[in-house]
Chains A and B, each alone.
Chain A
Amino acid sequence: MISIQLILLIIFGLVAIWFGWRVFMTSSMVRSALSLLGSMVAIGALFLVMEAEFLGVLQIMMMGTEMSIMAVFMMMYMMDPGGLGNMDMSHQKNLSIAAGVAVTVLITGAVLFADWGTIVTQVPSPHEQNRLLGMEILKRSMMIFETAGVTILTGMIASIAVALSIKSSREK
């Protein structure tokens, strides 16, 4: 059954895979970071096709900010952000290609030969989904949400502490 959802899934999936492959095949660093952004936007579009509207919009929004920060960090720390030198910076290439292909084949095998049960076709509307997700967060998963909040705070403090320069305190 070729439905519109299947066609859109295949299109956005191929876009995500192509951008993901381009991340590691291009020599310009900024193009690499923005190509990862393209892949993440395609993944967000996949969420929208699979009718998880809030998650799709959230993914697209967050990945925009994150990938542009990554692009700025690439410009700061890499020696050739423009990619005009054409250097291949990778090691143990054969092992990693073998690992990537082996993992893909294993997962595809597990997917094709498992019994998934019946497919449900009725999904709540986006407005109803937002309400139910909010109820879920604040009733059953409240503990997880609060832990995530405290983890974010710890992550912020830890990253600032790691990135602070210790030389200024030594000069005193």
Chain B
Amino acid sequence: MTPFLNGFIISLLFVGGVYVVAVLERWSMTGNVNWPGPARSFYLLFAQEEIKTRKHDKVFFETAPILFIGVILLTISILPFGRGSVMVDLGTGALFINAALVYVMVSLLMVGWAVNGVYAMVGGWRALAQLIAYSMPVVMVLTATVMRAESMFLTDIVESQQSLWNILYQPVGFMLFYISALAITFLPPFDLPVAEGELAGGVWADLTGARKLLFRLGRLTLVLTLSVAVVVLYLGGWMGPWLPGFVWTFLKTFLVATSFFAIGRYMPRIRHDHLLEYNWKYGVPLALYNIFQVGIVLLL
């Protein structure tokens, strides 16, 4: 299979993946699997009239959705989907994931400020606290996977899992990255910034039309991207018997994404102070313990 054909099939599978994730999100909210649902929502939002609030901050209102989508697309381009199927094999790939997640937070703060409304601003501040907090364990558990691979190339991190997948080698790290991925994409039970019932839609309460569509679509793409990151870092990437590499990646990603939404369906929303407490008091020391444990096992 030529690289171009590989890349084309992977892009198609990715777009299909975003559609499947949208169906899964609707399942996690209501319990029915509604296959034409996302297409109708897309069309309705796209054709909706665009209402701008009074005295909104023009620069940030226009820039925030573009920053959000741009950062997510950059993250997709550095993740390896199969052996040799990576757009940009960055030498500091593992750190780049974390850097991109920080700009997701900046764009949420921008849009929360720009619409000049109370609900959006409170949602933006909650998003700021949550995303700063849950970025800390992410960088530490990424360090532990880099320690095993002895290089920051994401393809090397996958290759280093030949003998034993990272989920068994660093189980604490896997749990922390999983929970942090749930919190960074503010999926339920961590969905305070976009709380449907509590904050009237939170950060994007005052957005309508194509802008809201960009944010919701971007959030689903972020869920898929973080699932691929979980698979690449902890579940062995493209490794598996007879099927080609990228098929295995997408199968594992589908499993991880379904588990994200299943947790959201069956757990209540976590309170804000519990959210931050779990991170700073338990998450960061556990991440440091993870580095310690991986270091000892590596040196043995």
Residue of A nearest to B63 (CB): A34
> A164 at the A/B interface (Cβ < 8 Å)?
no
Task: Report B242 CB to chain A, min CB distance, Å.
Answer: 32
Q: Is the CB–CB distance between B99 and A61 below 8 Å? A: yes
What are 23 of the A-B contact pairs (CB < 8 Å)? A28-B57, A30-B113, A31-B59, A31-B60, A34-B106, A37-B106, A57-B95, A57-B96, A57-B99, A60-B99, A61-B98, A61-B99, A61-B102, A68-B109, A68-B128, A71-B109, A72-B125, A75-B113, A82-B116, A126-B92, A127-B151, A129-B91, A130-B152
A54 to B153, CA, bound (A): 12
A126 to B156, CA, bound (A): 14
Task: Report B136 CB to chain A, min CB distance, Å.
Answer: 10
On chain A, which size bracket covers the interface? 20 to 34
> A58 at the A/B interface (Cβ < 8 Å)?
yes
B contacts with A, residue count (CB < 8 A): 26
Q: Is the CB–CB distance between B105 and A64 below 8 Å? A: yes
Q: Is the CB–CB distance between B102 and A57 below 8 Å? A: no
A64 to B102, CA, bound (A): 6
Residues of B within 8 A of A (CB): 55, 57, 59-60, 90-92, 95-96, 98-99, 102-103, 105-106, 109-110, 113, 116, 125, 128, 132, 135, 151-153
A75 to B116, CA, bound (A): 13
> A65 at the A/B interface (Cβ < 8 Å)?
yes
> A69 at the A/B interface (Cβ < 8 Å)?
yes
Known A64-B99, A65-B132; judge A53-B91 contact (CB<8 A).
yes
**Residues from chain B with Cβ under 8 Å of A126 in the complex:** 90-92
Q: Is the CB–CB distance between B113 and A64 below 8 Å? A: no
By secondary structure, the B interface counts as helix
**Residues from chain A with Cβ under 8 Å of B55 in the complex:** 82, 84
Residue of A nearest to B99 (CB): A61
Task: Report B158 CB to chain A, min CB distance, Å.
Answer: 16
**Residues from chain B with Cβ under 8 Å of A68 in the complex:** 105-106, 109, 128, 132
Task: Report A71 CB to chain B, min CB distance, Å.
Answer: 7
A28 to B90, CA, bound (A): 37
Known A31-B57, A130-B91; judge A65-B102 contact (CB<8 A).
yes
Known A30-B113, A57-B99; judge A127-B132 contact (CB<8 A).
no
Task: Report A3 CB to chain B, min CB distance, Å.
Answer: 22
Residue of A nearest to B110 (CB): A34
Interface string of A81-93 (1 = CB under 8 A from B): 0101000000000
Q: Is the CB–CB distance between B98 and A53 below 8 Å? A: no
A67 to B109, CA, bound (A): 11
Residue of A nearest to B153 (CB): A127
A130 to B96, CA, bound (A): 14
A30 to B113, CA, bound (A): 9
A1 to B113, CA, bound (A): 45
Residue of B nearest to A28 (CB): B57
A143 to B95, CA, bound (A): 25
> A125 at the A/B interface (Cβ < 8 Å)?
yes
**Residues from chain B with Cβ under 8 Å of A65 in the complex:** 102, 105, 132, 135
Q: Is the CB–CB distance between A130 and B102 below 8 Å? A: no
